[in-house]
Amino acid sequence: MLRRTEPGTLRCGKQLLNLSTPVVMGILNTTPDSFYPESRVSGAADQLLERAEAMLSAGCAILDVGGMSSRPGAEAIPADEELNRVLPAVKAIHRHFPDAIISVDTYRSGVAAECIAAGASMVNDISGGKLDPNMIPMVSSHAVAYVVMHMRGTPADMQQMTDYQAVVPDIIKYFVDRIRVLKRAGVEELVIDPGFGFSKTMAQNYEIIRNLGAFQCLGFPVMIGVSRKSTLSSTIGRPVEETLEATTALHMAALLNGASILRVHDVEAAMDTIAVYRQLSSVNTLNPKVIG
């Protein structure tokens, strides 16, 4: 009932994204306060375009442009300030890389609509449509792809809302409800994001990765965003700048458990992980010819 009619693909506006093998979404933060400083790009178009070109050249399938930090404890900024950060970035990327799939990371329908008009073909909504009642109708009317993430509360208070009866079943129940709402509104092109680090404890984050395969029952591609997050920093006891290897390890675990999209800061490392995963998963690799 909930399964899409074209498994292995995701329609993003006029483009069809092949998800028969995992792909990478590259993070472009136009914020001055995102948790990983190296992911930030200034208002200068040349820096933004240089970063976008490097990501695309490395094999990135989607560029995700965000203008408001969603780190734990982050306060919301005015909508016009968010729009002033992301809209010029979306316009510049679409102008210079017209074939690139651009995602806008926002929970505000007005910001998303302006970015769609400027060339974005995907909306990455941390609230799953719960923080702006106009988001789902807007997505439906524009026929773009929609990432529906799990989060309780808002970034400002979400880490106070980590009490679950059973974290994975509870999140699946949330998605079943969200998918029904979205499908009734006519939104078909969906991606599921369990919300690693959003209203979750460290133990719950790892439980989600261990049980990521359970989300396959929903019938939609699963995206995972673990890149350089504080869970990894806390796990290895080193700052965010030193978490690339830990991120790579968790990316492999996510891929082995069914992730279709990796949302990352470091595109080359993620592409390398996917290449190794594909070899590891190939029949020929697992069943070498016996010479005797």
For 46-87, write each residue's pLDDT tens digit: 889 999 999 999 999 999 999 987 767 667 889 999 999 999
pTM for this predicted structure: 0.90
Catalytic member of 91, 263, 278, 289: 263
Domain membership flag for residue 280: yes
Joined together, the tokens standing for residue 276 give 């190794």
Catalytic member of 85, 229, 238, 289: 229
The pLDDT value given to residue 61: 98
Q: Which residue has the tokens 């729009």?
A: 83
Residue 160 CB: number of other CB atoms within 10 A?
A: 11
283: pLDDT strictly greater than 80:
no
What type of residue sits at position 240?
Answer: V
Here the CATH number for the domain that contains residue 252 is: 3.20.20.20
d(CA 41, CA 126) in angstroms, rounded, equals: 21
32: pLDDT strictly greater than 70:
no
Question: Is 229 known to be catalytic?
Answer: yes
The pLDDT value given to residue 155: 80
The pLDDT value given to residue 135: 98
The pLDDT value given to residue 45: 76
Q: Note the pLDDT tens digit of each residue in 230-241.
A: 999 999 999 989
Q: Are 138 and 144 in contact (CB under 8 A)?
A: no
Domain containing residue 88: 9-286
**CA-closest candidate to residue 24, choices 259, 211, 264:** 264
Domain membership flag for residue 97: yes
40: pLDDT strictly greater than 80:
no
Q: Are 142 and 116 in contact (CB under 8 A)?
A: yes
Domain membership flag for residue 4: no
Q: Beta partners for 104?
A: 65, 123
CA-angle at 206, arms to 193 and 225, nearest 5°: 35
First to last CA, the chain: 50
Query: Please, which pLDDT band fits residue 141 given cuts at 50, 70 and 90?
Result: very high
- Strand duo 15-18 + 23-29: pairing: unpaired
Domain membership flag for residue 36: yes
Q: What is the largest CA-CA distance in the chain?
A: 70
Domain membership flag for residue 3: no
Joined together, the tokens standing for residue 146 give 């929609």
Domain membership flag for residue 218: yes
The pLDDT value given to residue 38: 59
d(CA 292, CA 275) in angstroms, rounded, equals: 30
41: pLDDT strictly greater than 70:
no
Domain membership flag for residue 60: yes
Into how many domains does the chain fold? 1
Q: How far is CA 277 from the centre of its chain?
A: 19
Question: Is 11 known to be catalytic?
Answer: no
% of the chain with per-residue pLDDT over 90: 78
Domain membership flag for residue 282: yes
Starting at the edge strand found earlier in the chain, the sheet holding 122-125 runs: 190-193, 145-149, 122-125, 101-105, 62-66, 23-29, 261-264, 223-224
| DSSP collapsed to 3 states, the chain | CCCCCCCCEEEECCEEEECCCCEEEEEEECCCCCCCHHHECCCCHHHHHHHHHHHHHCCCCEEEEECCCCCCCCCCCCHHHHHHHHHHHHHHHHHHCCCCEEEEECCCHHHHHHHHHCCCCEEEECCCCCCCCCHHHHHHHHCCEEEEECCCCCCCCHHHCCCCCCHHHHHHHHHHHHHHHHHHCCCCCEEEECCCCCCCCHHHHHHHHHCHHHHHHHCCCEEECCCCCHHHHHHHCCCHHHCHHHHHHHHHHHHHCCCCEEEECCHHHHHHHHHHHHHHHCHHHHCCCCCC
